[in-house]
Every structure is written in structure tokens, then in C-alpha cells.
Amino acid sequence: MNNELSKVYYRIREVSEFVGVPQSTLRYWEKEFPQQVAPMRNSGNIRYYTPEQVETLKLIKFLVHTRGMKIDAVRKELRGNSKNVSRRVEILDRLTEVRSELKRLLDSLEKRR
């Protein structure tokens, strides 16, 4: 789980930023994956997601957006192989961080020229 997820619950706006999808997409995925993503709601009907649900939503995004899988295929993948998918997402996140850091270093070197 990411270190950035230190709170007990997150509102939909925060989750939308963490996952990188619009709030409407999160609401759609709630309907499509009710066992995996069922946020708590307060009396004002405001959604509250756990860190585990945020991680699941990141997995869903990876499978749908990066791998190009259909919703039915994602359901099957999450049921049967979620640990392997989770590991791939962790690796991809880390590689993205490394790439960003390398780009920052390269930009810094070019400014010194």
C-alpha cells in the first residue's frame, strides 16, 4: 500500500486525484465492482473510501486504462489474480517515479550547460 494513504477514510474528490480518474468514473466503478468498492456513506450521503478501496480502484484503472481490459475481464482478473495485478501496478508506479526523477535530473543538467 502507498505511504501517501495515511488517513482512515478519503472523500471521493481525494480518491479521484489519487487514482487519476473523474469522480463520475469512480461512481460507475462502484456499480460495476460492488464487492470490491463499496464506500461508506454518512448521513449526508458523502462517500468515504478506505485505503484498501483506493488501492483496488488503482488496480481497476490499471487494468482498464493501461491494459485495455473490458469490465467483465477486470472482474475475473480481480477475483482470480488480484495479488499478481497488485504487484504489477506497484512496479509500474515505481518505474514512473524513477522516470520522473531521471527527467528532473536531466533537466537540471541541461540548465547548467
pLDDT on residue 85: 66
Report, at the CATH architecture level, how domain 10-112 is classified. Answer: Orthogonal Bundle (1.10)
pLDDT on residue 3: 45
pLDDT above 90 as % of the chain: 53
pLDDT on residue 79: 82
8-31 tens-digit pLDDT: 899 999 999 999 999 999 999 999
pLDDT on residue 82: 60
Q: Find, among 72, 71, 67, 69, the residue nearest to 92 by Cα.
A: 67
Strands (E), 42-107: 47-49
55 contact partners, CB below 8 Å, separation of at least 6: 1, 2, 5, 86
- Name the stretches of the chain with pLDDT < 50: 1-3
The ranges assigned to domains in the chain are: 10-112
Angle at 45 between CA 53 and CA 12, to 5 degrees: 40
Please tell me the distance from the alpha carbon of residue 87 to that of residue 83, in angstroms, as a whole number.
6
Q: Give the position of cell 518505474.
A: 95
